[in-house]
Amino acid sequence: MSARAVSLSTTASDLISLTKPRLSSLVLATTAGGVFLAPGELSVARVLVTMLATAGTVAAANTLNCYIERQSDRFMARTHNRPLPSGRMEPGVALWFGLSLVGVSLPALALGANVLTAALGLLAFLSYVLVYTPLKARTSAAMIVGAVPGALPPLMGWTAVTGQLDTGGFVLFSILFLWQMPHFLAIALFRKEEYAAAGLKSVPIERGDESSRAQIVLYVVALVPMTLLPYQLHIAGPWYLLVAVALGLTFLGLGAWGFFKQMGKPWARQTFFYSLLYLTGLFIALMLDRGPAV
């Protein structure tokens, strides 16, 4: 293979890594859940355009996040080898890549779905890049702000089909919003030193580990009843309800165990991984047991 081919391959790989593929795949899965659960149908072509445009919008936001945080990323083990902090890529390349992605994706989202869904995509993009990202270095409240764009994808999937904001879409938004809190808090607990070294604020740094463990429990307490609403609204059936209760009680038990026993990093890491398992199981159950009203 020629040196030019190797260089192009490396550049392409680095550009893809800027989009944070694992995070983007989770976002796309929840968007697909919203599309699937919403009452009504989209043609296969419009579903594909909607998903691709959503992927492009998410990729743009993640790329610009990497651009803005390229200095602080040097101090975290999970980010120091990214293309920008490692010096493999010029910052300008990442900037134009991100802007180009969003410049194509949002108009495509308006055409592939509708203007409302594109407006929600714009809100997610701007709040993530211009509000959440700068706030991370100033206050732990950035976690709450960042949960808004993180929770919008399933609502976008819903509005892509329905063309309107309604209760079902807001329930999906609320589930994702509340789920992110214990998820983020767990990460902040077992990466506390890295956050401090990078100059980023978090609840463990500002309020301590005990407050963080308590907040995990409180957010899960709020999350569990919210996950029961899809059954009440006939979005999902009784098998989903059983799965939601079982997953939720396990999540609550894990959180309470960590709080009362004052557990440390190993528990926080377990909570983080369980949060991923929890969300995956919840959405699989939602889509396998759609309710009669959908």
Q: How far apart are the C-alpha atoms of 239 and 252, rounded to whole Å? A: 20
Q: So what's the pLDDT on residue 3?
A: 42
Q: So what's the pLDDT on residue 292?
A: 61
226 φ/ψ angles, rounded to the nearest 5 degrees: -65, -35
- Is 5 within a domain? no
Q: Under 8 Å CB-to-CB from 23, ≥6 apart: which residues?
A: 58, 62
- Is 93 within a domain? yes
Same domain, 161 and 18: yes
Same domain, 19 and 161: yes
Nearest to 146 by CA among 246, 51, 86, 62: 62
Q: How far apart are the C-alpha atoms of 290 and 294, rounded to whole Å? A: 7
- Is 129 within a domain? yes
Q: So what's the pLDDT on residue 8?
A: 55
Last residue of a domain, one of 124, 143, 165: 165
Q: Under 8 Å CB-to-CB from 48, ≥6 apart: which residues?
A: 112
- Is 244 within a domain? yes
- Number of structural domains, the chain? 2
Q: What angle do CA 198, 199, 205 make, to 5 degrees?
A: 105
Q: So what's the pLDDT on residue 233?
A: 93
Token pair for 146: 């960042």
Last residue of a domain, one of 165, 197, 217: 165
What is the pLDDT tens value at each position of the chain, 294 positions in all? 444 443 556 678 888 888 888 877 888 888 988 998 998 887 888 888 898 999 899 999 999 998 998 887 787 777 778 888 887 888 888 899 999 999 999 999 999 889 999 999 999 999 999 999 999 889 999 999 999 999 999 999 999 999 999 999 999 999 999 999 999 999 999 998 888 888 888 899 999 999 999 999 999 999 999 999 999 999 999 999 999 999 999 999 999 999 999 888 999 999 999 999 999 999 999 989 886 655
Token pair for 293: 């009203």
Same domain, 249 and 291: yes
Last residue of a domain, one of 123, 138, 165: 165
Q: So what's the pLDDT on residue 293?
A: 52
Nearest to 179 by CA among 269, 56, 283: 283
| Structural domain that includes position 136 | 13-165
Q: Could you report how far apart the first and last alpha carbons of the chain are, in Å?
A: 53
Same domain, 236 and 111: no
Q: How far apart are the C-alpha atoms of 219 and 145, rounded to whole Å? A: 15
Same domain, 235 and 112: no
Q: How far apart are the C-alpha atoms of 231 and 241, rounded to whole Å? A: 6
